[in-house]
C-alpha cells in the first residue's frame, strides 16, 4: 500500500538545498576561528575583513532559508539555534577578543571585567525568547559588538573610552528599546536597506585605506549609525498600543 504521506516528503534536491543553507550559516563558525587567529597574530585589518564577511553571511542566510523553506525540508534541524550559536561567536566573542588582543581595553583585571560585560549580557540576550519581536525588531541592544570593535579600531579610541562604550551597550541590552532589524523591519525598509548597503561599501572602503582611512567614508558610515539609532528610537516611541478585545456585556 502506498504511503499517503510520501507525496508530502521533501525531495532529495530540496533537502540538499536546505543542508547547503545550513552549511552556509555554519561557515560563520569557521570565520570566527579565523578572526580569533588573526587577533592573536595582530592582524587587525584582516580580522575586520573577516568580521565583514561574517556579517554578510548572517545578513543573507535568513533570506535564503525562508525562500527555500528549509524548516519544512529539514524539520528535525533547528536552524535558528545554529544561527544563534554562530552569531554569538562572530558578533560577541570574536570582536571582544579582538579588542582585548589589540590593546583597545584597559589592562589588568579591570579590562577583563569590562570585556566580560558584553559576553555576559549577550549570553542573556541570546537566550531570551523575545529577543526578536513578532514584528521583526531586536528588543534591547542587538549585540553589535562587531560594529563596536570596528569603530574602536578605525577611530583609534582610547581603552577607557572603549570600556565605557562596552559598559553602556551592555546595559542597553536590558532596556527594551526596539532596534531596527534592517532586512526585516517593514517601516522604512527600502530606505534602511539602501543605507545599509551604503554602510557596507563604506566599511570596505575604510578597510582598503587602513590604517589611515579618508574622512568621507568614515563620516558617511557614522551618519548611518545616527540614522539607525534615531529610527529605532522613533519606532519605539510611536509603537501603537496593542488592541484589546471588547469585553462582552455582563462579564
What integer pLDDT is reported at residue 8 of this predicted model? 67
pLDDT at 5 over 80: no
Average pLDDT across the chain, whole number: 91
Domain locations in the chain? 11-237
Rounded mean pLDDT of 226-243?
A: 84
What integer pLDDT is reported at residue 1 of this predicted model? 45
Give the tens place of pLDDT for each residue, 150-202. Answer: 999 999 999 999 999 999 999 999 999 999 999 899 999 999 999 999 999 99
What integer pLDDT is reported at residue 221 of this predicted model? 98
Give the tens place of pLDDT for each residue, 19-32. Answer: 999 999 999 999 99
> What whole-number distance in Å separates Cα of residue 164 and Cα of residue 155?
15
Local confidence band at 208 (pLDDT 50, 70, 90 cut-offs): very high
pLDDT at 148 over 90: yes
Rounded mean pLDDT of 26-41?
A: 97
Q: What percent of the chain has pLDDT over 90?
A: 80
Q: What percent of the chain has pLDDT over 70?
A: 92
Cα end-to-end span (Å), the chain: 55
Q: What per-residue string of b and e applies to 1-25 under the rule 16 or more CB within 10 Å gives b? A: eeeeeeeeebeeebeebbeebbeeb
Give the tens place of pLDDT for each residue, 92-141. Answer: 999 999 999 999 999 999 999 999 999 999 999 999 999 999 999 999 99
Question: Are 159 and 104 a contacting pair, CB within 8 Å?
Answer: yes
Q: How far, in Å, are 58, 96, 115 from residue 88 at the CA level?
A: 11, 11, 14
Amino acid at each position: 500500500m502506498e504511503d499517503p504521506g510520501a507525496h508530502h516528503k521533501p525531495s532529495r534536491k530540496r533537502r540538499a538545498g536546505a543542508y547547503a543553507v545550513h552549511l552556509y550559516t555554519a561557515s560563520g563558525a569557521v570565520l570566527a576561528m579565523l578572526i580569533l587567529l588573526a587577533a592573536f597574530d595582530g592582524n587587525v585589518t584582516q580580522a575586520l575583513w573577516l568580521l565583514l564577511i561574517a556579517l554578510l553571511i548572517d545578513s543573507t542566510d535568513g533570506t535564503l532559508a525562508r525562500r527555500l523553506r528549509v524548516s519544512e525540508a529539514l524539520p528535525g534541524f533547528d536552524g535558528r539555534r545554529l544561527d544563534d550559536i554562530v552569531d554569538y561567536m562572530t558578533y560577541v566573542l570574536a570582536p571582544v577578543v579582538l579588542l582585548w588582543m589589540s590593546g583597545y581595553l584597559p589592562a589588568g583585571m579591570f579590562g577583563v571585567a569590562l570585556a566580560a560585560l558584553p559576553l555576559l549580557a549577550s549570553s542573556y540576550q541570546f537566550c531570551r525568547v523575545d529577543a526578536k519581536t513578532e514584528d521583526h525588531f531586536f528588543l534591547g541592544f542587538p549585540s553589535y559588538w562587531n560594529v563596536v570593535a570596528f569603530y574602536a579600531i578605525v577611530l583609534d579610541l582610547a581603552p577607557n573610552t572603549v570600556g565605557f562604550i562596552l559598559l553602556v551597550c551592555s546595559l542597553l541590552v536590558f532596556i527594551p528599546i526596539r532596534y531596527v532589524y534592517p532586512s526585516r523591519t517593514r517601516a522604512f525598509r527600502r530606505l534602511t536597506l539602501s543605507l545599509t548597503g551604503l554602510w557596507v561599501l563604506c566599511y570596505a572602503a575604510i578597510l582598503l585605506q587602513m590604517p589611515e582611512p579618508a574622512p568621507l567614508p568614515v563620516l558617511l558610515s557614522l551618519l548611518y549609525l545616527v540614522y539607525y539609532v534615531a529610527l529605532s528610537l522613533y519606532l519605539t516611541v510611536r509603537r501603537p498600543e496593542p488592541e484589546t478585545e471588547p469585553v462582552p456585556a455582563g462579564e
